[in-house]
Amino acid sequence: MVRRIVRARVGAHPAAEDLVQETLTRVLAASSTIEPGMLEPYAIVTARNVVATMWRDADRRRRNQHRVLDLSAPDAPETQVVLDEEQSAMATALARLSERERRTLLDHEVKGTDTRTLAERDGSTAGAVAAQLNRTRARLRVEYLIAVEQVDPPTDRCRAVLLALSSGDQRRQREVQAAQHLLECEPCSRLSQPLLERGQQRDDSLRIAVSGDPDIVSARVAARELATRLAFGPTDLTVIATAVSEVCRNIVRFAGSGQVWLELLENPRRGIQIVARDGGPGIPDVEQALGDGFSTYGGLGLGLPGVRRLMDEFAIASEPGHGTTVTMTKWERTNDE
């Protein structure tokens, strides 16, 4: 069924099978948080979304390619725009909570007040406060997505459906007929993806096979999502995603295929490590390849020198005829840096 949907949209595009696999991977990953009756509808909307994302991402990359070079400037105007948009979306989302929900959440998350203290203040129990915090977070995720994606939920049922997905409450998903709604409501089908993918792959590492353009997109998205679990700011998240897509693009371009490993590190401090490995022809002169002004394929984009500048640690090992391994790390910044 998934294959049929994908083929209907992209035909015999070389990426078709990758898109099918990507869809199935996502559906399997979400299977524990959705009720069984939702598997098929979820597969359908996921297939549609995966195809749409590939085109959207490719298009955006084409349009923004000239900007990639400026990424190292932390105060680039577009970074500020992203920051402002995210902040204002969060403010909108917070404003939709009740006064009590908002106060409890902010006291807990911002001031660090523990649930026991909050319970004493409200004449409640720590368990009840923790449950309330979970419900509030689920609502905040929904409201934040609605605001940041600038969606105007078209029906009265939309928020109830999204909330049931956000909280992973399978009984509630059946009650509000979430499956049927996702098939009928385009905005909710779109927002369902980030809500259901949240919290999956709790593993702190992940391997992605890279053999074509869609894999570059997947690796880029995966790196950003993994890095989001640490306290990286928007600029660093973009830097990490860009560095990953750059090394993946090198793999596709020069070796045809390879792999990239993404791993969150705890020691000596928190950060993300990216290892990209291919068995291609290798780089004859690594020093030259890392020199400024040297572009391995004369195209747009950062090239390896740009990636090295953006990341905190960068090493490259290459042996002609035996492939190339790029290892790079971005450390989470502490407040005084």
Binding site for Zn ion (CB under 5 A): 158, 185, 188
Q: How far is the CB of 163 from Zn ion (least distance, A)?
A: 11
Nearer to Zn ion, 176 or 307 (CB): 176
Nearer to Zn ion, 185 or 226 (CB): 185
Nearer to Zn ion, 166 or 318 (CB): 166
Nearer to Zn ion, 42 or 232 (CB): 42
Q: How far is the CB of 152 from Zn ion (least distance, A)?
A: 10
- CA-CA distance, 172 to 178, in Å (whole number)? 8
Q: How far is the CB of 157 from Zn ion (least distance, A)?
A: 6
Q: How far is the CB of 166 from Zn ion (least distance, A)?
A: 13
Span between the terminal Cα atoms of the chain, in Å? 51
Nearer to Zn ion, 185 or 217 (CB): 185
Edge-to-edge strands, sheet with 323-331: 205-210, 258-265, 271-278, 323-331, 313-319
Tell me the C-alpha to C-alpha distance, in Å, between residue 109 and each of 54, 106, 112, 130, 133. Answer: 35, 5, 5, 12, 10
User: For the chain, how many residues are written?
Assistant: 337
Q: Which residue has the tokens 């559906």?
A: 27
Q: How far is the CB of 172 from Zn ion (least distance, A)?
A: 15
Q: How far is the CB of 175 from Zn ion (least distance, A)?
A: 15
In degrees and rounded to multiples of 5, residue 331 shows phi and psi of: -90, 145
Strand, coil or helix: what is 270?
A: coil
CB 329 within 8 A of CB 272: yes
In degrees and rounded to multiples of 5, residue 179 shows phi and psi of: -60, -50
| Paired residues of 319 in beta bridges | 323
- CA-CA distance, 230 to 245, in Å (whole number)? 20
Q: How far is the CB of 186 from Zn ion (least distance, A)?
A: 8
- CA-CA distance, 264 to 273, in Å (whole number)? 6
Closest by CA to 217, choosing from 264, 263, 252, is 252
Nearer to Zn ion, 185 or 307 (CB): 185
Q: Which residue has the tokens 């029906």?
A: 155
- CA-CA distance, 195 to 139, in Å (whole number)? 11
Nearer to Zn ion, 45 or 93 (CB): 45
Q: How far is the CB of 182 from Zn ion (least distance, A)?
A: 8
Nearer to Zn ion, 188 or 222 (CB): 188
Strands 313-319 and 258-265, sheet pairing: unpaired
DSSP-derived letter for residue 39 is H
Q: How far is the CB of 58 from Zn ion (least distance, A)?
A: 27
CB 300 within 8 A of CB 244: no
Nearer to Zn ion, 172 or 309 (CB): 172
For residue 229, which amino acid is it? R
